[in-house]
Amino acid sequence: MRRSLRGVSLIEVLTAIVVVSVAISLISVSWHLLSRVHRRADQNIQETRLVERLALRFRMDMRETVSARVADVAPARGWDLQCVDGRVIEYRHEPGGIARRVKRGDQIEHRDLYRLPNWADVRFTSAEDSSPKPCVVSFYRHPTEQAKLDATSPVENLSARQPWLIVTSPVTHESEVP
């Protein structure tokens, strides 16, 4: 009688080790990419919520506004909103984001800071050709960030940049934007 010994050759063991190591490396690379996508998605959600809160606050302030004017005071630019009850609400684009200050006379009653993403650039304008004249806050991407997103857009052409988000609100009372 002959007994058959069934064994595994060295080639088969090495092949199994190679297959398992390739599978583990593919899984680790996929895990890394998924975590990066998840991090970026969380960041986008936080940025969107921040801008939504800012837009809601801006629109609520505009409902109480008697007059509004663009304040282009260096180094910050923004809006000065005069309210019915005598308060002045200032929106200023500062290095940390957009600052909202509620003032009565020279005293600051309240201050908020809406931190914007590093890539954001903000413009405060009013539409001259419409009635009532709306107060517009436009969010742009910095030219270098826009060029990263769209390789065909030239960095130097600032006027061709499309806004990322526009928040508009008309002055609701009889006085209009000067």
Distance of CA 20 to the CA centre of its chain: 43
pLDDT of res. 29: 95
Residue 27 lies in a domain: yes
Report the number of distinct structural domains present in the chain: 1
Beta strands in 43-178 (DSSP E): 65-73, 76-83, 88-94, 97-104, 107-115, 120-126, 134-141, 165-170
Mean pLDDT of the chain: 77
Name residues whose C-beta falls within 8 Å of residue 171's C-beta, 6 or more positions apart in sequence.
Answer: 62, 65, 66, 67, 68, 132, 133, 134, 135, 177
Residue 5 lies in a domain: no
Report which residue type is found at 52. E
Residue 143 lies in a domain: yes
77-104 pLDDT, tens digit each: 788 888 888 899 998 888 778 889 999 9
Residue 127 lies in a domain: yes
Residue 174 has pLDDT above 80, yes or no: no
pTM for the complete prediction? 0.64
Nearest to 155 by CA among 166, 168, 146: 146
pLDDT of res. 129: 52
Residue 24 lies in a domain: yes
Instruction: Domain of residue 154: give its range.
Output: 10-170
Residue 2 lies in a domain: no
> How far is the C-alpha of 163 from the C-alpha of 158, rounded, in Å?
11
Nearest to 177 by CA among 113, 75, 82, 52: 82
User: Tokens for 115?
Assistant: 């931190």
> How far is the C-alpha of 41 from the C-alpha of 60, rounded, in Å?
29
Please state the φ and ψ torsions of residue 144, each to the nearest 5 degrees. -70, -35
**Strands across the sheet containing 65-73:** 65-73, 76-83, 88-94, 97-104, 107-115
Residue 97 lies in a domain: yes
Residue 145 lies in a domain: yes
